[in-house]
Amino acid sequence: AQTVTQSQPEMSVQEAETVTLSCTYDTSENNYYLFWYKQPPSRQMILVIRQEAYKQQNATENRFSVNFQKAAKSFSLKISDSQLGDTAMYFCAFMKPNTGNQFYFGTGTSLTVIP
Q: Which residues bind other proteins (CB under 8 A)?
A: 33, 35, 37, 42-47, 50, 52, 91, 95, 97-98, 100-103, 105-108, 110
Residue whose CB is less far from other proteins, 47 or 114 = 47
Name the residue among 96, 55, 90 with its Cα closest to residue 76: 90
- In angstroms, give the least distance from the CB of 115 to other proteins: 23
Residue whose CB is less far from other proteins, 14 or 66 = 66
For the chain, counts of helices (H) and of strands (E): 0, 12
- CB burial string 80-91: b at 16+ within 10 A, e below: eebeeebbbbbb
Residue whose CB is less far from other proteins, 18 or 61 = 61
CA distance 59 to 65: 6
- In angstroms, give the least distance from the CB of 11 to other proteins: 14
